[in-house]
């Protein structure tokens, strides 16, 4: 089995320990049975010689779980950054966004819905979704979804962008055609990042004439294939925003470093990298700088703009006012009229008791109003009684508030914890009520790791994996 684990690590980065060596062994045995083989050594040989069997094994071991607007503060942050930073600097250029890994498409389509509702013209935007799994990409291209793809308290977007049919919820073609899909192994040999990365040297050339491309060797220079069957094709870096969420957690340290180097090469010098909640510390270790966007888990490359960005953002969160001194809620008439406004411009004042629902508490959190969000969660829990969703959100907000304090005190580093984090207790309460709450399991694992409780952290990760397998 070790030989097969090594192959998986070397070729696709999968660290068997991240999902449990026994889980991987079970999946391998299933494949061996299908191939009529008894000995792992024979199967390892087959994998070396048969690209087709290799593909089958990859499809068996990847964790493709995803859903629309997962960690939705990231999408709210995307709109803010596009409107406040990117658009003023790039009045005519194309906004480039990469979702890698995109799995079955929910993430890049959430980006497309978000930007469309914020009034950004589709012609101004290029959204690429990339993943290793051909099966996941085929489902992404089909754009028909079951109920597992819709989670959380606010599903109004489903009514706006999907049609319910016997097969499932069909995404509107207007959104679907905004995303191009590519089959890509982030760690594969078929393309490389050479040198220090695209973004660091070139914004002017790429913006003027769009000819300068990165030092990434592309493996096909085929034209863009809008919303078609996935196959290897070219990415076109540098990207202004990259979503690489819930992939690094499956890699070991060395592979995380390799992956981050490649992502750095794909990201524009002034771009932002969004990762999963459990991955922000890893990204920091890889040299990225936190963007201080609560609950959005975003970071950027180190550079001159960083101080400027942080000052502006702090000023805004302190005063509740935008860059030009306008109240946050009046920054854009178009945005204020759009359904996305609840994501981006939550009410400035805490809500009255009677008005507080989970969606409102989430909107406050998404807008970075952490104290108001915490108060709203507490009210909600008091009024309606314990709920896993309420405790989980309060845990997230507690973590984000703590992180803000740490950032003030000791800069970017995500330090080890000397005492149990108060959010851990909240995640445990959520898990008491809903033992398979995957996100609570992952967050609890991360906090336990920071406390040095590695065995407990691994146990939580395993539970998260089992919960994920059950829900697929
Ligand atoms: C848990 S999903 C994450 C999807 C989405 N980003 C999210 O956060 O909901 C992980 C995805 O990573 C893909 N993946 C695993 N290893 C990869 C690699 N080396 N290169 C590209 N994609 C990979 C899997 O196929 C799977 O679809």
Are 189 and 163 in contact by the 8 Å Cβ rule? The answer is: no
Among 61, 81, 107, residue at a domain's last position? 61
Q: Pocket of ligand 1, candidates 10, 71, 101: which has the most ligand atoms within 8 Å of its Cβ, to mutate?
A: 101
Residue 68 forms part of a structural domain = no
133: Cβ below 6 Å to ligand 1?
yes
Rounding to the nearest 10 degrees, give the CA dihedral for residues 439, 440, 443, 444.
Answer: -150
The count of residues in the chain is 472
446/461 Cα distance (integer angstroms): 9
Burial level of 46, CB count in 10 A (0-12/13-18/19+)? middle
Taking CA atoms only, the protein residue closest to ligand 1 atom 9 is: 66
State the DSSP H helix or E strand holding residue 139, giving kind and residue range, or none if neither.
helix 134-142
Atom of ligand 1 nearest to the CA of 136: 27
**Residue-by-residue pLDDT tens, the chain, 472 positions:** 899 999 999 999 999 988 888 889 999 999 999 999 999 999 999 999 999 999 999 999 999 999 999 988 999 999 999 999 999 999 999 999 999 999 999 999 999 999 999 999 999 999 999 999 999 999 999 999 999 999 877 899 999 999 999 999 999 999 999 999 999 999 987 664 433 333 443 333 333 333 333 323 332 333 333 333 333 357 889 999 999 999 998 999 899 999 999 999 999 999 999 999 888 888 888 889 888 888 899 999 887 455 455 545 554 554 444 433 334 333 333 333 333 333 333 344 445 555 578 888 888 887 778 889 999 999 999 998 999 999 999 999 998 888 777 766 654 445 667 788 899 999 999 999 999 888 888 889 888 888 888 888 888 888 887 877 766 6
Ligand 1 midpoint to CA 469 (Å): 15
Same domain, residue pair 296 and 368 = no
Same domain, residue pair 130 and 228 = yes
Atom of ligand 1 nearest to the CA of 187: 19
Q: Are strands 179-183 and 125-131 parallel, antiparallel or unpaired?
A: parallel
DSSP state letter for 82: I
Ligand 1 midpoint to CA 66 (Å): 9
Taking CA atoms only, the protein residue closest to ligand 1 atom 19 is: 12
Same domain, residue pair 146 and 241 = yes
Ligand 1 midpoint to CA 162 (Å): 24
- The residues, ordered by sequence, that sit 6+ positions from 409 with a Cβ below 8 Å of its Cβ are none
Are 175 and 116 in contact by the 8 Å Cβ rule? The answer is: yes
Residue 278 forms part of a structural domain = yes
Token output for 412: 């970017």
Same domain, residue pair 117 and 228 = yes
DSSP state letter for 347: -
Question: For position 369, what pLDDT does the model report?
Answer: 83
Question: For position 214, what pLDDT does the model report?
Answer: 34
Alpha-helix runs per DSSP H in 367-453: 370-384, 388-410, 422-433, 438-450
Same domain, residue pair 247 and 297 = yes
Residue 219 forms part of a structural domain = yes
Same domain, residue pair 299 and 356 = no
Taking CA atoms only, the protein residue closest to ligand 1 atom 23 is: 132
Ligand 1 midpoint to CA 103 (Å): 5
Cα-flanking dihedrals φ and ψ of residue 241, to 5°? -140, 135
Q: Are strands 298-300 and 169-171 parallel, antiparallel or unpaired?
A: unpaired
Rounding to the nearest 10 degrees, give the CA dihedral for residues 178, 102, 74, 426.
Answer: 150
136: Cβ below 6 Å to ligand 1?
yes
Ligand 1 midpoint to CA 104 (Å): 9
Ligand 1 midpoint to CA 102 (Å): 6
The CATH number of residue 384's host domain is 1.25.40.10
Atom of ligand 1 nearest to the CA of 67: 9
Residue 325 forms part of a structural domain = no
256/278 Cα distance (integer angstroms): 13
Atom of ligand 1 nearest to the CA of 276: 8
126/128 Cα distance (integer angstroms): 7
Beta bridge partners of 169: 145, 164
Residue 236 forms part of a structural domain = yes
The CATH number of residue 190's host domain is 3.40.50.150
Same domain, residue pair 162 and 192 = yes
Same domain, residue pair 298 and 275 = yes
Per the structure, the count of domains in the chain is 3
110/460 Cα distance (integer angstroms): 28
245: Cβ below 6 Å to ligand 1?
yes
120/86 Cα distance (integer angstroms): 12
Taking CA atoms only, the protein residue closest to ligand 1 atom 2 is: 64
Same domain, residue pair 233 and 100 = yes
Same domain, residue pair 264 and 371 = no
Same domain, residue pair 254 and 274 = yes
186: Cβ below 6 Å to ligand 1?
yes
187: Cβ below 6 Å to ligand 1?
yes
Question: For position 76, what pLDDT does the model report?
Answer: 92
Residue 145 forms part of a structural domain = yes
Helix axes 358-366, 370-384, angle to 10 degrees: 170
Residue 115 forms part of a structural domain = yes
116: Cβ below 6 Å to ligand 1?
no
Token output for 372: 């108001």
338: Cβ below 6 Å to ligand 1?
no
Ligand 1 midpoint to CA 225 (Å): 21
Taking CA atoms only, the protein residue closest to ligand 1 atom 7 is: 66
Same domain, residue pair 46 and 80 = no
Taking CA atoms only, the protein residue closest to ligand 1 atom 17 is: 132
Taking CA atoms only, the protein residue closest to ligand 1 atom 14 is: 132
Dihedral sign computed on CA atoms, order 266, 103, 244, 309? positive
Among 61, 81, 111, residue at a domain's last position? 61
377/274 Cα distance (integer angstroms): 25
Domain containing residue 14: 2-61
29/40 Cα distance (integer angstroms): 8
262: Cβ below 6 Å to ligand 1?
no
Largest CA-CA distance found in the chain, in angstroms, rounded? 70
- CA-to-CA separations, 256 to 61, 186, 280, 395, 412, in angstroms, rounded: 18, 11, 12, 26, 19
65: Cβ below 6 Å to ligand 1?
yes
Residue 335 forms part of a structural domain = no
Cα-flanking dihedrals φ and ψ of residue 378, to 5°? -60, -45
Residue with tokens 């969160």: 317
Taking CA atoms only, the protein residue closest to ligand 1 atom 16 is: 12
Alpha-helix runs per DSSP H in 208-303: 253-266, 280-285
């Amino acid at each position: 089995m070790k030989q097969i684990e090594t192959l998986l690590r070397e070729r696709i980065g999968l660290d068997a320990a991240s999902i449990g060596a026994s889980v991987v062994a079970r999946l391998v045995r299933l494949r061996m049975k299908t191939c009529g083989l008894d000995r792992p050594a024979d199967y390892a040989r087959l994998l070396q010689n048969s690209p087709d069997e290799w593909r089958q094994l990859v499809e068996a071991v990847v964790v493709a779980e995803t859903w629309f607007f997962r960690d939705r503060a990231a999408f709210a942050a995307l709109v803010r950054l596009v409107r406040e930073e990117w658009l003023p600097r790039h009045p005519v250029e194309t906004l480039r966004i990469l979702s890698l890994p995109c799995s079955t498409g929910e993430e890049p389509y959430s980006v497309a819905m978000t930007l469309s509702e914020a009034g950004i013209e589709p012609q101004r935007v290029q959204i690429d979704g990339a993943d290793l799994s051909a099966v996941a990409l085929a489902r992404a291209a089909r754009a028909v979804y079951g109920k597992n793809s819709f989670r959380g308290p606010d599903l109004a977007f489903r009514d706006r962008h999907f049609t319910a049919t016997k097969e499932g919820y069909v995404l509107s073609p207007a959104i679907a055609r905004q995303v191009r899909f590519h089959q890509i192994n982030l760690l594969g040999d078929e393309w490389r990042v050479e040198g220090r990365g695209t973004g660091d040297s070139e914004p002017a050339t790429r913006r003027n004439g769009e000819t300068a491309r990165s030092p990434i060797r592309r493996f096909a220079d085929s034209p863009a294939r809008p919303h078609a069957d996935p196959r290897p094709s070219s990415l076109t870096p540098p990207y202004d925003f990259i979503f690489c969420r819930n992939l690094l957690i499956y890699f070991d340290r060395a592979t995380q470093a390799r992956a981050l180097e490649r992502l750095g090469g794909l990201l524009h010098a002034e771009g932002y990298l969004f990762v999963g909640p459990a991955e922000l510390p890893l990204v920091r270790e890889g040299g990225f700088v936190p963007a201080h966007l609560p609950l959005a888990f975003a970071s950027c490359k180190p550079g001159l703009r960083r101080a400027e960005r942080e000052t502006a953002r702090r000023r805004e969160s302190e005063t509740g006012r935008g860059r030009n001194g306008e109240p946050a809620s009046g920054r854009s008439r178009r945005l204020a009229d759009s359904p996305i406004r609840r994501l981006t411009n939550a009410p400035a004042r805490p809500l009255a008791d009677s008005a507080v629902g989970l969606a409102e508490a989430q909107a406050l959190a998404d807008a970075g109003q952490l104290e108001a969000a915490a108060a709203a969660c507490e009210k909600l829990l008091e009024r309606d009684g314990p709920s896993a969703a309420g405790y989980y959100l309060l845990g997230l907000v507690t973590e984000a508030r703590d992180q803000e304090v740490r950032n003030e005190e000791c800069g970017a580093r995500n330090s080890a914890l000397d005492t149990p984090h108060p959010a851990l207790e909240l995640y445990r309460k959520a898990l008491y009520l809903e033992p398979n709450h995957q996100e609570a399991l992952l967050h609890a694992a991360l906090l336990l790791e920071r406390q040095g409780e590695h065995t407990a952290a691994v146990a939580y990760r395993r539970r998260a994996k089992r919960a994920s397998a059950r829900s697929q």
